C-alpha cells in the first residue's frame, strides 16, 4: 500500500522527471561551461520522451492529487502529449540553429525544458492558483528565451514587448480570478463547477461581478493563445525572436494555453455556456478575419506565420464556441494537426539559408522547385494543408470544427470561417506559386542538417497519413473529451 | 467603530495620493520614496483587516528589499527619465479615458451590491481556522508546507527561472577581465611570486 504523498508523487512523475532533468542540466551546464550546450539539448529531448512514454502508458488514469490542486485524466494526458511532442520537435529543430547562430548557451535548453514543464503543469491544473502558477512558469521562461540573443536589437525588443504585454495579461487574469473567488468562495475547479451548474440548474442569471471576472480571465487566456484583440505582440515577437525559438513559440505554448482555455470553459464554466459563448464567437470571428487579411501583405515569412497562427487559433475557437463534447474532440484534433503543420513549416524556414546566413523573405523561396525539388514538394504539402485544401490533414481538421459548429447551430460563425479560410488560402498558395512557377533568384543553400530534414519529411508525410489512418488521434481525442465532460 | 473607519480612510487617502505622486514627480528618487510611503500605507491597511503577517511581509520585503534596490538602481544608473517620459502627455488622454471607463464599470457592480454565491461564505470559512484561535503566521505556516506544498514548489521553480533569466540576459563574459582564481593563487610557489635582488649600497635598483 502506498501512502497518499507517494501516490501523489507517482501521479506527477512526468512533471517531476522534467523538473529534475532541468535542475541537473543546470548543474551540468555550469560545471562544463558553454562547450557542451548542444548535447544538453538531446538530454532534454530524452527527458521529454520519457515523460511522454509514461503518459502514454498511464493514459486512462483519472485521479486528483496534491490536495485537489493537480488533476490527471485523459484530457490532460492527451494535451500533455501534444505539448511534449511540440516541445520535443522544436528542440530537435533548434540543435543545428544553436550551433550555427552562436547561441550555444547551456541555459537555453534548460529554459526550454522549464517552459515545457510549466506548460505540462498548467494543463493539469485543477485550481485557479495552480493554473496561474503553471502559466507564469511557462511565460517567464519564454520571455527570457525570446530575448536570449542579447546582441540583436530585434530579439531584445521581442523579449521586452512580450514581457510587458504578458505581465499586463497576467494581471488581468489574476484580477478576474479574484472576482471569481469573490463570488464563489473557492478557487478549486470542482467547487466552481458545482456552484455554476447549480446556478444554471435553478435558472439564475449570473451576477454582473462574476461575468466581469470571467471576461478578465478570458482576456488573460486569449492573450496567451494570441487571439484578436489580444494578438498585438505576436507578429513582432515571432519576427524578432531567433527562428528556432519562434518555432518553439508557435507550437507547444499555443496548445498548452488552448488546453487551459478548454479546461476552464468546458469544465467549471460549462454552466455559464451562454455567457462565454458570445465572447468566444466574437474573438473567433475577429481572429479568423484578421489572420486572413493581415497576412496578405507580409513579406517576411515569420510574420506571415504569426498571422497564420492567429487565424488558426480563430478556427480552433470555432470548435470551442460550440461547447459540446463532439466539438471538444474536433478542437483537439485541430490542435494536433496544427501543431504538426506549424512545426513542419518552421523546419522548412530553418533550412532557408543563403551563403550560410538565414534569410526570411518570402521572395527568397522563388524557384525553389528547380533547385531543391524535395523541399519544395514538402513545403507545398504543408502549405496546402495549412490552407485547408483536401485531401490533406488540414482540411480534415477544419471540416471537423466547422461540422461541430454547424451542429451547435452557429451558422454565421461557420460561414465567416469558411469565407476567411478561402481568403487565407491566397497567401499560402502564393508561396506555392513562388516555389514552382517563378524564376529562381540566387539559390538557397542545399545543405540541410539531417534531423531537420527528418522532421520535414515526417511532418509532411503525416499530413497525408493522418487522413488515411486517423485512428490513434481521433480515438485518443474522443477519450480525452469524454473525461473532460465527466464521463 | 467610527475611529476605525476614519483611520481606514486616512490611510487609503494617503496611499492613493502618494501613488499618484509616484508617477507624477519629476525626480525619480522622490518617486521611489513615495512608493515606499505607498507600501507603508498598504501595510497599515492590511493591519486594519487583521492580516498582520502580510503587513510585516510587505514592509520587510517590499520596503526593505525591493524599494531600496529601486533606489540604488535609480541613483546609480544614468538614465534620463525626462527623455523616457516624453510622449507621456500625448498618451495621457487616451489612457485616462480607458482608466475612467474601467473605474466606472468596476464601481457599477462593486459599490453596494456585490453578490456572492449562496454558500460562498461557508466555502471561504472552510479554508480558515476559527478567528482568534491561532495567529496569522501560525495559520499560514500550518498549510503552506502541507496542503499547498505543490504550489510552494512551483513558486520555487518560478523564482529559479527568474534567476536564470536575469543571469542569462545580463552576464557578459568579456575578454581581458581579471578574475580571481583561488586554485592558481594557492598553487603559486615562492619562486614565481617574488624575485630577490641584491641591491648594492648607494646605487638603487
**Is A183–B116 a contact, with Cβ atoms under 8 angstroms apart?**
yes
**Is A209–B105 a contact, with Cβ atoms under 8 angstroms apart?**
no
The whole-number average pLDDT for the span A124-146 is: 95
Residue burial B6-31, b: 16+ Cβ < 10 Å; e: rest: eeeeebeeebeebbebbeeeeebeeb
Residues of B in contact with A183 (CB under 8 A): 115-117, 120
What whole-number distance in Å separates Cα of residue B63 and Cα of residue B33? Answer: 10
Q: What is the pLDDT of residues A290-333, one digit of tens each?
A: 999 999 989 999 999 999 999 999 999 999 999 999 999 999 99
Residues of A in contact with B167 (CB under 8 A): 107
The whole-number average pLDDT for the span A359-375 is: 89
**Is A141–B117 a contact, with Cβ atoms under 8 angstroms apart?**
no
Which residue has better confidence, B87 or A361? A361
Alpha-carbon torsion B70, B73, B76, B79, what sign? negative
The proportion of chain A whose per-residue pLDDT surpasses 70, expressed as a percent, equals 99
pLDDT category, A486, cuts 50, 70, 90? confident
Alpha-carbon torsion B138, B141, B142, B143, what sign? positive
| Residue in this structure with the C-alpha cell 493563445, named with its chain if needed | A225
What whole-number distance in Å separates Cα of residue A423 and Cα of residue A420? Answer: 5
**Is A185–B117 a contact, with Cβ atoms under 8 angstroms apart?**
yes
**Is B117–A69 a contact, with Cβ atoms under 8 angstroms apart?**
no
DSSP secondary structure string, B133-175? TS-HHHHHHHHHTTTTHHHHHHHHHHHHHHHHHHHHHH----T
Question: Would you identify the CATH topology of the domain B1-92?
Answer: 1.20.120
Q: Given this model, what pLDDT does residue A44 score? A: 94
pLDDT digit of tens for each residue in chain B (205 aa)?
789 899 999 999 999 999 999 988 888 888 899 999 999 999 999 999 888 899 999 999 999 998 888 888 888 877 776 676 677 778 888 989 988 998 888 787 777 677 788 788 888 877 777 766 788 888 888 888 888 999 999 999 999 999 999 999 888 777 777 778 888 888 888 888 888 888 888 877 6
The whole-number average pLDDT for the span A119-133 is: 95
The whole-number average pLDDT for the span A277-291 is: 95
> What distance in Å separates residue A90's CA from the closest CA in chain B?
20
User: Quick check: B108 contacting A, CB < 8 Å?
Assistant: yes
What whole-number distance in Å separates Cα of residue A175 and Cα of residue B74? Answer: 30
Which residue in the set B109, B124, B151 is minimally distant from A69, CB to CB? Answer: B151
A·B CB contacts under 8 A: 97
C-beta separation of A101 from A95 below 8 A:
no
Lowest-confidence segment of A197-206, A415-424, B95-104, B142-151 by average pLDDT:
A197-206
User: Quick check: B120 contacting A, CB < 8 Å?
Assistant: yes
Q: Quick check: helix, strand or coil at residue A478?
A: helix
Residues of A in contact with B157 (CB under 8 A): 19, 114, 117-118, 137
DSSP secondary structure string, A106-149? THHHHHHHHHHHHHHHHHTB-BHHHHHHHHHHHHHHHHHHHT--
Looking at the predicted structure, is the pLDDT value of residue A131 above 80? yes
Q: Given this model, what pLDDT does residue A1 score? A: 45
Looking at the predicted structure, is the pLDDT value of residue A353 above 60? yes
The whole-number average pLDDT for the span A180-193 is: 91
Looking at the predicted structure, is the pLDDT value of residue A288 above 80? yes
Q: Given this model, what pLDDT does residue B81 score? A: 67
In sequence order, the β-bridge partners of residue A64 are A71
Q: Given this model, what pLDDT does residue A212 score? A: 87
Q: Given this model, what pLDDT does residue A59 score? A: 92
The whole-number average pLDDT for the span A270-288 is: 92
What whole-number distance in Å separates Cα of residue B146 and Cα of residue A21? Answer: 25
What whole-number distance in Å separates Cα of residue A372 and Cα of residue A227? Answer: 35
Q: Given this model, what pLDDT does residue A128 score? A: 95
Lowest-confidence segment of A44-58, A132-146, A251-265, B129-143 by average pLDDT:
B129-143
Looking at the predicted structure, is the pLDDT value of residue A442 above 50? yes
The whole-number average pLDDT for the span A416-423 is: 94
The proportion of chain A whose per-residue pLDDT surpasses 90, expressed as a percent, equals 74
C-beta separation of B38 from B18 below 8 A:
yes
Residues of A in contact with B121 (CB under 8 A): 185
Domain borders along chain B are 1-92, 136-166
Q: Quick check: helix, strand or coil at residue A29?
A: helix
Amino acid at each position: 500500500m502506498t501512502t497518499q504523498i507517494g501516490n501523489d508523487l507517482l501521479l506527477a512523475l512526468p512533471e517531476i522527471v522534467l523538473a529534475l532533468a532541468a535542475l541537473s542540466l543546470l548543474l551540468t551546464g555550469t560545471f562544463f561551461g558553454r562547450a557542451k550546450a548542444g548535447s544538453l539539448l538531446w538530454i532534454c529531448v530524452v527527458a521529454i520522451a520519457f515523460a511522454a512514454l509514461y503518459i502514454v502508458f498511464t493514459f486512462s488514469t483519472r485521479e486528483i492529487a496534491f490536495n485537489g490542486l493537480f488533476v490527471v485524466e485523459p484530457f490532460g494526458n492527451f494535451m500533455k502529449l501534444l505539448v511534449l511532442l511540440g516541445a520535443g520537435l522544436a528542440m530537435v529543430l533548434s540543435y543545428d540553429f544553436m550551433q550555427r547562430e552562436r547561441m550555444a548557451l547551456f541555459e537555453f535548453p534548460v529554459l526550454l525544458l522549464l517552459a515545457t514543464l510549466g506548460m505540462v503543469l498548467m494543463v493539469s491544473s485543477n485550481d485557479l492558483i495552480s493554473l496561474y502558477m503553471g502559466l507564469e512558469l511557462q511565460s517567464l521562461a519564454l520571455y527570457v528565451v525570446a530575448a536570449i540573443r542579447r546582441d540583436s536589437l530585434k530579439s531584445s525588443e521581442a523579449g521586452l514587448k512580450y514581457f510587458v504585454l504578458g505581465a499586463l495579461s497576467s494581471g488581468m487574469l489574476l484580477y478576474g480570478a479574484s472576482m471569481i473567488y469573490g463570488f464563489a468562495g473557492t478557487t478549486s475547479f470542482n467547487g466552481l463547477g458545482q456552484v455554476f451548474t447549480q446556478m444554471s440548474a435553478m435558472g439564475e442569471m449570473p451576477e454582473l461581478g462574476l461575468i466581469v471576472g470571467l471576461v478578465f480571465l478570458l482576456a488573460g487566456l486569449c492573450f496567451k493563445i494570441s487571439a484578436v484583440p489580444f494578438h498585438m505582440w505576436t507578429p513582432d515577437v515571432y519576427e524578432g525572436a531567433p527562428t528556432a525559438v519562434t518555432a518553439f513559440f508557435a507550437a507547444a505554448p499555443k496548445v498548452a494555453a488552448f488546453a487551459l482555455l478548454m479546461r476552464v470553459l468546458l469544465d467549471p464554466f460549462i454552466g455559464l455556456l451562454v455567457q462565454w459563448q458570445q465572447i468566444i464567437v466574437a474573438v473567433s470571428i475577429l481572429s479568423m478575419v484578421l489572420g486572413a487579411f493581415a497576412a496578405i501583405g507580409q513579406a517576411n515569412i515569420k510574420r506571415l506565420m504569426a498571422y497564420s497562427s492567429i487565424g488558426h487559433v480563430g478556427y480552433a475557437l470555432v470548435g470551442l464556441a460550440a461547447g459540446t463534447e463532439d466539438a471538444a474532440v474536433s478542437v483537439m484534433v485541430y490542435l494536433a494537426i496544427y501543431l504538426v503543420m506549424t512545426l513542419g513549416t518552421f523546419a522548412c524556414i530553418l533550412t532557408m539559408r543563403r551563403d550560410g546566413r538565414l534569410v526570411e523573405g518570402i521572395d527568397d523561396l522563388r524557384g525553389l522547385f528547380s533547385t531543391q525539388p524535395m523541399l519544395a514538394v514538402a513545403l507545398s504539402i504543408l502549405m496546402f494543408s495549412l490552407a485547408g485544401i483536401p485531401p490533406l490533414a488540414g482540411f480534415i481538421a477544419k471540416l471537423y470544427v466547422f461540422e461541430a459548429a454547424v451542429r451547435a447551430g452557429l451558422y454565421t460563425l461557420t460561414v465567416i470561417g469558411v469565407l476567411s479560410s478561402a481568403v487565407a488560402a491566397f497567401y499560402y498558395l502564393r508561396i506555392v506559386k513562388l516555389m514552382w512557377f517563378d524564376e529562381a533568384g540566387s539559390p538557397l543553400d542545399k545543405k540541410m542538417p539531417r534531423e531537420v530534414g527528418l522532421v520535414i519529411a515526417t511532418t509532411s508525410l503525416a499530413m497525408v497519413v493522418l487522413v488515411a489512418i486517423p485512428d490513434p488521434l481521433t480515438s485518443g481525442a474522443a477519450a480525452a473529451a469524454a473525461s473532460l465532460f465527466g464521463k | 467603530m467610527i475611529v476605525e473607519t476614519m483611520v481606514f480612510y486616512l490611510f487609503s487617502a494617503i496611499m492613493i495620493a502618494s501613488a499618484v505622486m509616484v508617477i507624477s514627480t519629476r525626480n525619480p528618487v522622490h518617486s521611489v520614496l513615495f512608493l515606499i510611503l505607498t507600501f507603508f500605507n498598504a501595510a497599515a491597511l492590511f493591519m486594519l483587516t487583521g492580516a498582520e503577517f502580510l503587513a510585516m511581509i510587505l514592509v520587510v520585503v517590499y520596503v526593505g528589499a525591493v524599494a531600496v534596490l529601486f533606489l540604488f538602481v535609480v541613483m546609480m544608473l544614468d538614465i534620463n527619465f525626462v527623455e523616457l517620459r516624453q510622449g507621456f502627455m500625448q498618451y495621457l488622454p487616451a489612457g485616462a479615458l480607458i482608466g475612467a471607463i474601467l473605474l466606472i464599470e468596476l464601481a457599477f457592480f462593486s459599490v453596494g451590491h456585490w453578490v456572492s454565491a449562496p454558500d460562498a461564505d461557508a466555502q471561504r470559512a472552510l479554508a480558515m481556522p476559527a478567528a482568534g484561535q491561532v495567529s496569522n503566521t501560525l495559520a499560514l505556516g500550518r498549510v503552506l508546507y502541507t496542503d499547498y506544498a505543490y504550489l510552494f514548489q512551483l513558486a520555487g521553480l518560478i523564482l529559479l527561472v527568474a534567476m536564470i533569466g536575469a543571469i542569462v540576459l545580463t552576464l557578459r563574459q568579456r575578454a581581458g577581465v581579471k578574475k580571481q582564481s583561488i586554485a592558481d593563487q594557492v598553487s603559486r610557489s615562492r619562486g614565481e611570486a617574488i624575485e630577490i635582488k641584491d641591491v648594492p649600497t648607494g646605487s638603487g635598483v
